[in-house]
Structure 1
Amino acid sequence: MESADLGAVGPYELLLQLAKGGMAEVFIARRAGAGPGEAGREPLVALKRIRADLRAESGYSSMLLDEAGLASRVASPNFVQVLDRGIDEGGAPYIVMELVVGVTLKQLTRSPEALGIGDALDLIAQAADGLHAAHEARDSSGELLQVIHRDISPSNILVGVDGRARICDLGLAWALRRTTRTKTGMVKGKLSYFSPEQAHARPLDRRSDVFSLGVVAWEVLAGRRLFVGSNMLSILHAVLEREVPPLWTERDGVGNAVTDAVARALERDRDARWATAAEFAGALRGAAERERHAASRERVGGRVAEVLPEGLRPLVAGYGPGGLLATRESVAALRAMHAAGVVGERDSSGMMAVRGSSRG
């Protein structure tokens, strides 16, 4: 598909369709009209907009605007950044995000070889940093927005070829001033990562997300799922009642410090949990230091590159601190990948890799 067929959205030239989900479609784009000498200096971005067949329904536009508004208030290297947002010529909203070349934590941990304990702890601590930044997001007057992600899982933690973990997808998030709300009785999020208060449909605060991230931490370190069941009720029962085995019994090399740090995140009484994601991050890093678990982002980035679909791997060499630049070579490579059907069709997070499912 040639870029001429895709046109432009606002000041952005659409290069390739990256993904199409149930609500939105995502394109790889670049800012149009680069001046002399600027070609190749601008990073490629991910542009997300409502699917054409849904643009007449105002609810979808409101959801996208809400997501953009919340994400734009989160400032952290461990949260997928919203770079711009606007309304196109047809009146439809769009958001522009950083383009992350990487995989989800879920994909990264599918490998038969488990992540090293130090690398796993570092990735979860990074994710906790990004989550804390979301929880601390404030409006223009400085008022806390009281963001709750509500959908923390390995599928919503991206790991780039730079070895950095990023929280993504605020599509299900709750916030004080969000205009779109969940209908009473509607289940939001992935059941196996629900907090007990989510399972009881009780009011939530940031500690609910801490529990969910605790589940992710336990699973990444143990190498298996924690709360499983054959149906919705059995999964919720597991969340509420099933005993959580100490991590030291699940993984050689994990000691009491790491076990205790994760166990506190998984306290069913939220008053006994870490009060913030920042506290959880600090506990994980402290435990890693006490137990001498070394981390290497270079090593993690190398593993990510190995897990990437083969057709995407040539892009790794062009990915730097400023992201993937819009050079002739990178654009040509992306077009070739699109023509070959390599780029994921159902991802809407701003990540160039296949994900199992997507709302957006």
Structure 2
Amino acid sequence: MTDTTSTGTSSARLRVVRKLGRGGMADVYLCRLTGVGGFDKPVVAKVVRPEHAEDAEFARMFMEEARLSARLQHPNLIHVYGIEQTGGRLVLMMEYVDGPSFKALLRAAWRAGDADWRHVAALMSDVARGLAHAHGLAAEDGTPLRLVHRDVSLDNILVSREGIPKLIDFGIARAADRGRHTQVGTVKGKLQYMAPEQLDGLDVDHRADIYALGVCLYKALSARNPFPGKTTREIWRQRLAGEFIPLSTHRPDLPAPLLEAVARAMEPDLDARCGSAEELADVLESVALSADPPSTRAARREWVRRHAPLHEEGPEEDPSEGGLSLSLMLRGSYGGLADAGEPSDPTPGAPDGGRGAAGETPGPEPTVE
């Protein structure tokens, strides 16, 4: 298979800093994009794993969805720079976000007793606006594309140290699903976020993403699972039946409009569910801004930095990886990094309690999963 480059961003100009993670579909690397005049920009490279490299249908779907992702231009969606093939592997090049996942941020905030519901509502409002932009994307002839993320979760939201949330992996979730649907148990990690119609194997629309946003809100605001089943089968039954513990049980102190917004987003009946991500965003923004004091951009930035202390100087190169060219690595000129072990989990452990802006959160040992 001939190597081709689809954009001006070439993997030959990407110097590997370190491996960020590994999934069933791809390995993820933090790289530096270098150029003339001392140009140096951190980027993320998602490299399709070897077991999928020769799957022509997987590659077609991955490239198609990556092209759609590149069309999404919104401050709360991760920006895709391009896709290319090198060393027989597909490489998706994306924006680097200097900050943790929302899940890691919330774990730290709950552990510190500072899980401020105002900031949670404001950040999720921004995510909802990003989703609304994607849901409304149209083809060049004006035909709606009806994009659905299908994999919205707290893990798939990154929060920069400027207090700006960004939804990642938009548009490639279908390719990921194809790569894992025959693997027993791999859906388990996302089970908590899936809408009933998605679990039922039915065609889904944008409302499945709204449901997942509701679950994100529930978890973020309570540090608990809405579906407390102890087995996959029990959780599955609860999800299909729409049986979940009301958020007000854990957080009676939250404003009524916020509690109602979460309940509407998680409504199992499609006709009764919140109709658009934009509508949900408006409610969340209104609640965050009407609080006393309100959640301002400056306050959110301070809150994020308080619970996500990263290196001010930016990503540092791992000496063991030596700034190797990503292209050379994938062509087999160096095997050490490709076989490197998984990075240790930098996120704090499960919190032992927390307090939002309105007071103590009831219940023992909450945790954001």
* Class of the TM-score when normalised by the shorter of the 2 chains: 0.7 to 0.9
Give a deviation string over 1:266-297, Cα, whole Å, max 9, x none: 21111111111111001111233444462144
Q: Which of 95, 99, 103 is matched with 1:102 structurally?
A: 99
Provide the rounded CA distance (Å) in 2 between the counterparts of 1:244 and 1:292.
30
- Counterparts in 2 of 1:308-347, with a 5 A limit? 308=308, 313-314=310-311, 317-318=312-313, 333-336=316-319
Report the counterpart of residue 264 of structure 2 in structure 1: 264
Identity of aligned residues (%): 29
Q: Which of 90, 94, 98 is matched with 1:93 structurally?
A: 90
Structure 2 unpaired stretches of 5+: 1-8, 323-339, 350-369
Alpha-carbon distance, 1:246 to partner: 4.2
Structure 1 unpaired stretches of 5+: 1-7, 319-323, 325-329
Matched, 1:78 2:80: no
- Count the aligned residue pairs: 317
Provide the rounded CA distance (Å) in 2 between the counterparts of 1:293 and 1:264.
26
Alpha-carbon distance, 1:79 to partner: 0.8
Amino acid at match of 1:131: L
Q: Is contact 2:152-2:209 (8 Å) kept?
A: yes
Provide the rounded CA distance (Å) in 2 between the counterparts of 1:127 and 1:61.
28
Q: Is contact 2:76-2:167 (8 Å) kept?
A: yes
Which has the larger displacement, 54-63 or 198-207? 54-63
Q: Is contact 1:105-1:154 (8 Å) kept?
A: yes
Provide the rounded CA distance (Å) in 2 between the counterparts of 1:267 and 1:302.
34
- Counterparts in 2 of 1:166-315, with a 5 A limit? 166-170=166-170, 173-174=173-174, 190-241=190-241, 243-251=243-251, 253-292=253-292, 294-308=294-308, 313-314=310-311
Quickly say closer, same or farther: Cα 1:83–1:353, change in 2 above 3 A: farther
Q: Is contact 2:196-2:242 (8 Å) kept?
A: no
Report the counterpart of residue 3 of structure 1 in structure 2: none
Which has the larger displacement, 67-76 or 267-276? 67-76
Quickly say closer, same or farther: Cα 1:106–1:11, change in 2 above 3 A: same
Provide the rounded CA distance (Å) in 1 between the counterparts of 2:64 and 2:98.
25
Report the counterpart of residue 28 of structure 1 in structure 2: 30
Report the counterpart of residue 4 of structure 2 in structure 1: none
Quickly say closer, same or farther: Cα 1:247–1:57, change in 2 above 3 A: closer
Quickly say closer, same or farther: Cα 1:252–1:66, change in 2 above 3 A: same
TM-score normalised by structure 2 residue count = 0.74
Alpha-carbon distance, 1:226 to partner: 0.9
Quickly say closer, same or farther: Cα 1:354–1:345, change in 2 above 3 A: farther
Quickly say closer, same or farther: Cα 1:296–1:252, change in 2 above 3 A: farther
Quickly say closer, same or farther: Cα 1:345–1:150, change in 2 above 3 A: farther
Amino acid at match of 1:15: V
Provide the rounded CA distance (Å) in 1 between the counterparts of 2:179 and 2:135.
18
Provide the rounded CA distance (Å) in 2 between the counterparts of 1:66 and 1:57.
14
Provide the rounded CA distance (Å) in 2 between the counterparts of 1:115 and 1:77.
24
Report the counterpart of residue 5 of structure 1 in structure 2: none
SS in 2 for 1:216: helix
Provide the rounded CA distance (Å) in 2 between the counterparts of 1:355 and 1:92.
34
Alpha-carbon distance, 1:47 to partner: 1.7
SS in 1 for 2:83: strand
Provide the rounded CA distance (Å) in 2 between the counterparts of 1:67 and 1:131.
16
SS in 1 for 2:318: helix
Which has the larger displacement, 143-152 or 298-307? 298-307
SS in 1 for 2:148: coil
Report the counterpart of residue 127 of structure 1 in structure 2: 127
Report the counterpart of residue 145 of structure 2 in structure 1: 145
Q: Is contact 2:147-2:171 (8 Å) kept?
A: no
Alpha-carbon distance, 1:48 to partner: 1.9
